[in-house]
Amino acid sequence: MRAVICGAGIAGLAAAIALHRSGWQVTVLEHAPRLRDGGYMIDFFGPGFDAAERIGILDTLRARSHSVDVIDWADPDGHVRARLHYDRMRDAAGGKLISLLRGDVERTLFEALPSGVDLRFSTTVTGAHPRADGVTVDLGGERVEADLLVGADGIHSGIRAQVFGPEERFLRPLGLHTAAWFADSPPAATALSERFVIESAPGKMAGVYGVGGDRVATFLAFTETTTHAPADPLGAIRRRYGDMSGIVRPVLAAEPVDEVYYDLVAQVVMPTWRSGRVILIGDAAYAVSLVAGQGASLALAGGVALGEALVADAALADGDGIDAALAAFEERVRPVVEEKQAGGRRTVKWFVPRTKARVALRNLSMRAADLPILARLLSPALALDTKGFAPVSRPERG
């Protein structure tokens, strides 16, 4: 049986590894000309942590992780108003938490791809036509027949648009925009050491952290109701953050060493992730947003769980088994995703507080969370049911 996966990000690569191990012939199609490196720093924990261990990449992820001692919440002048020791978060996650760049997760999955996986860069899907017994995938001048098409092509998924409908039907903006990039800034790198600094003002925040040498990374989130990017994202950001005089200032003054990532902060909410033999995973199906966190973890876990649900043996040979396995996969994973999405919608007003009073209250809560006696309050925020992504037996067919 053959699976075509659209998207060589975290979800797509994880699904490729797991499907190949389950006996499928796998082709991965990626629109970009090469693997994307870098990305913003993430806290990697939850179901993706366990899935990474199951496919044998956890040790590599640990080796690529970054050491973070504390998270400092500062005012626009750089004065620290709250501090959270990172050990509190690790303890709340049961020790299963590492900090690393999103691009390093993709790189690790890419290096773990079995040699039998056909990975094609600079390839665009121009048409997807699901049938009861398979799917036809158009690649411009080539037509590929497959038993399954996996859409893992991100929050602005082309597969979703072609098969399920226009983006605006499923995208739920949260009233924020975000940006991220790398820059070489010796003053900022020296000041950071092993700190993660978040400077906040009403309606905007900027996180800065070191990634080695003089290089630092920054990610920003700010209130914005439009759904399009400005013509000059970096210029617009510099004007918006021009009143910040702390560690953000030298980072904004430095020229980015890579492309500036810019997008709206949104979730993807769909009534179903399946249409015939097409299924969506990762952000294409269930983006939870950076506000909710664990997007990378859910993407990796979803890809692995899909592959583990589709063991290519006699039970799938007549096709009905594929449909049953896809239905069981969505039934197990959807409640976990919806729980995380709901948490993100509740959290957004505290992620980027819009008033001075809310900024102060957020800082107070972070100071309280750093007290050993209250650190256990972090546990619900870091907890997420991993059973929905765990391997299960093949569902019975009637």
Contacts of residue 241, defined as CB under 8 A and 6 or more positions apart, other chains included, come to 204, 206, 220, 248, 252
CATH number at residue 147: 3.50.50.60
Give the Cα separation of 53 and 57 in Å (integer).
6
- Give the per-residue pLDDT at 38: 66
Q: Hey, what's the torsion of the CAs at 227, 229, 235, 236, to 10 degrees?
A: -10
- Give the per-residue pLDDT at 318: 62
- Give the per-residue pLDDT at 397: 41
In a domain, 357, yes or no: no
The domain in which residue 15 lies consists of 2-65+101-172+268-348
In a domain, 27, yes or no: yes
In a domain, 395, yes or no: no
Give the Cα separation of 383 and 330 in Å (integer).
20
In a domain, 158, yes or no: yes
Task: Divide the 398 residues of the chain into consecutive groups of 10 and give the mean pLDDT of each group.
Answer: 96 98 96 82 89 96 90 93 86 83 94 96 93 90 94 97 96 96 92 90 94 91 93 95 92 92 95 96 95 90 95 66 92 93 92 94 86 53 60 50
Number of domains making up the chain: 1
Q: How is residue 93 written in tokens?
A: 């996650």
In a domain, 92, yes or no: no
Contact between 330 and 272 under an 8 Å Cβ cutoff? The reply is yes
Angle, CA of 196, 198 and 203, to the nearest 5°: 160
In a domain, 127, yes or no: yes
DSSP annotation of 213 reads T
In a domain, 59, yes or no: yes
- Give the per-residue pLDDT at 371: 72
- Give the per-residue pLDDT at 42: 85
Give the Cα separation of 299 and 8 in Å (integer).
12
In a domain, 373, yes or no: no
- Give the per-residue pLDDT at 92: 75
Strand 25-29's sheet: what is its strand order? 118-120, 25-29, 2-6, 148-151, 278-280, 274-275
